[in-house]
Amino acid sequence: MNQQNSSETTEWWRGATLYHIYVRSFQDANADGHGDIQGIIDRLEYLEWLGVDALWLSPTMPSPNRDWGYDVADYENVQSDLGDLATLDRLITQAGERGMKVMLDLVANHTSSEHPWFLDARSSRDSEHRSYYVWADGKEDGSLPNNWVDDTGEVAWTLDEQTGQYYFHNFLDAQPDLNWWDERVHAEFARIMDFWYRRGVAGFRIDVANGLYKDRLLRDNPVDPRAVIYNTEVQGRYGIEHKYNFNQPETHQVYRDWRAAAEQFDPPRLLLGETWVARVDELTPYYGDGDELQLGFNFPLIFAPFEPQALARIVRESFASFPAGSATVWAGSNHDLPRMSTRWAQNDEGRLRLAHTVLATLPGTYALYYGDELGMVDSDIPSDLQQDPLTAGGLNGQWPRDNARAPMRWNETDDGAFTAGTPWLPIHPDAAVNVERQRSDPRSVLHLVRDLIALHSEHLGAGAEYVEVEVTDERWIYRSGELLVVANFADAPLEAPRERGELLLASRASENGGQVLPWSAAVYRAAE
C-alpha cells in the first residue's frame, strides 16, 4: 500500500484507488442468493492483494428495495438481508487491519415512501414532517404543477389522494424527494452523518449529489430535444433540460457545511459526489473554493467516446478549471451504466487494457467497479429475470441496469463460488472471466490492473500534475507527475518519443524497440 495513503495521512484519497462493491452481487455468505457484508469480509484477502485503498459499498441501509437500497427507510441501521450493524462494524475493523477504508452510500436527495418521515408527511397537510418533502397543488385548470419528468421519462408528480396535493420525485414514485428548503432536513442529515462517522466510516459517496434543492417557484424546465445525457452536453434527458430540479445554487452551502463537519475528524472524512453532470463547467462548482466536495466523479469523461481527442479535452478542461489542489475520480463503469469493457472497449481485451491504463495514470483517484479488473462485460439478462424496477422492461427506451450487475465470478463452477443458493441475478455467463483463473495468470487483465494500482499509488499522490504533450485522432501522449504515458488508439504500431525514459509498464506485451502496439499504452518514467 502507498504510504501516502496510510491512515496517518490527512488527505488519504489523493492517489488512492477506490473499489466499488455492488454488495448484492459480490459474495453471498449465507446462501440466500444475495451478496452481503459478511461476504465482503470473506473476500478481504483478495481486495488487499489487489491493492485497493478504500471500499465504496452500494446502499446498505434498510430499504423496501424498490430501487435496491436507493430508497432508504432508515438511515441509522443495516438492511437485514445484507447483515447488521455488528457485521458492518467488523468489516470496518477488519478492512482497516488490512489497510483499507470503508465508505457508504448516502442517499440525501430522497427517501423511501415507506420512511417514517414520509408516512407522517402524507398523513395530513399539518403533519410534523409535511415540509420535509416537496408538495404542490395542481394548476387551476387541473393540470400538473409543472412539466418536470422523472428518471424514467414519466411525470415526476404523484397525487396523494388523502391530502389532495402532488409530491415530487426525481426517480420512482416510491422515492419522494426531500425538501432542503426546510432547515430541519439539514439537521437530520448532520446527525445521520455524525452517527456513521463515529462508527468508523471513512466517508460517503453522495447519491444524486447535484440534486437536493429544487427551484422554490417550481418553474417549468426548458424543452430541449438534445437533452438525452449520452452524446450530448446538455444536462437532462427525455427532451427536458434539468434546469430547475437539479444543480440549484443553494446546494453548495450544504456541501460547505458538510465539509466543515467532515474536517472535524482525524483524518477528515471524505465527501465523494455522484456529480451526474454532462459538462466540466457543471462539475467544477461542486468543489467550491476547495471547501465543498473533496472528490467528484468525472461523468463528462465517462460519457465521452473512447477517442483520444474527446478524452483529452475533458481531462484538459478538468485540470484547467478545478480549484487549485482539487482532485477528481476517474472511472469507466458503475452500477447505473454499461460496463467499460462493453461501452468503451467493445468487448475487446486490448482496448480494455488501454482504457484501464489511461484511467489509472491520470492524476487523481482511480475507481474500479467490481469485476472491471477481470474485464467483465455486460450480461444480457432476459426481461423476465430483471430485478431493477427503475429500468426493467426498458420503459421509454431505458437500458436495463441489471446487465451491469451480474454476480462476481470467483471460479469456473456453475455458481461461480458466488452463492450456494439461487443467485438473485443470473451468474455472468462467461465462466472464463473469473478471479481464480486470472489470479494464477500473470498476463491477465487482473494482473495488469493490480500493477496499475501499484503504479498509481507510487507515482500519483498529492502534487502530481497533468501536462498534455500531443493529441491526435490516433494518439494521446501526456505527462502525469513523473510518468510519461503514450496511448495508441490506432490499428498500427506507434513510435514512442525518443526521450521517453525507463519503461515501467505496457498494457499489451512488452514494448518492442520503442514501438507501442496497436490499441495499447506504454508508461515510462519520464526522462529529466
Which amino acids are annotated catalytic?
207, 274
Rounded distance, CA 485 to CA 462, Å? 19
The b/e string for 42-66 (b: 16+ C-beta within 10 A; e otherwise) is: ebbeebeebbbbbbbbbbbbbbebb
Rg, C-alpha atoms of the chain: 23
Rounded distance, CA 268 to CA 11, Å? 7
Rounded distance, CA 85 to CA 201, Å? 12
Rounded distance, CA 107 to CA 331, Å? 20
Query: Length of the chain in residues, anyone?
Result: 528
The b/e string for 79-109 (b: 16+ C-beta within 10 A; e otherwise) is: beebbeeebbbebbeebeeebbbbbbbbbbb
Lookup: cell for 168: 415530487
Estimate to the nearest angstrom the gap between the alpha carbon of 354 and the chain centroid.
Answer: 21
Q: Are β-strands 157-160 and 329-330 bridged in parallel, bridged antiparallel, or unpaired?
A: unpaired
Rounded distance, CA 56 to CA 313, Å? 28
Rounded distance, CA 268 to CA 435, Å? 34
Identify whether the C-beta of residue 14 lies closer than 8 Å to the C-beta of residue 464: no
DSSP result, 68-137: TTSS-S-TTS--TTT--HHHHHHHHHHHHHTT-EEEEEEE-SB--TTSHHHHHHTT-TT-TTGGGB-EEP
Rounded distance, CA 192 to CA 66, Å? 22
Identify whether the C-beta of residue 338 lies closer than 8 Å to the C-beta of residue 399: yes
* Burial of 289 per CB tally in 10 Å (0-12, 13-18, 19+): exposed
Respond yes or no on whether the N-terminal peptide bond of residue 423 is cis (omega within 30° of 0): no
Query: Which of 511, 466, 465, 504 lies closest to 488, judged by CA?
Result: 511
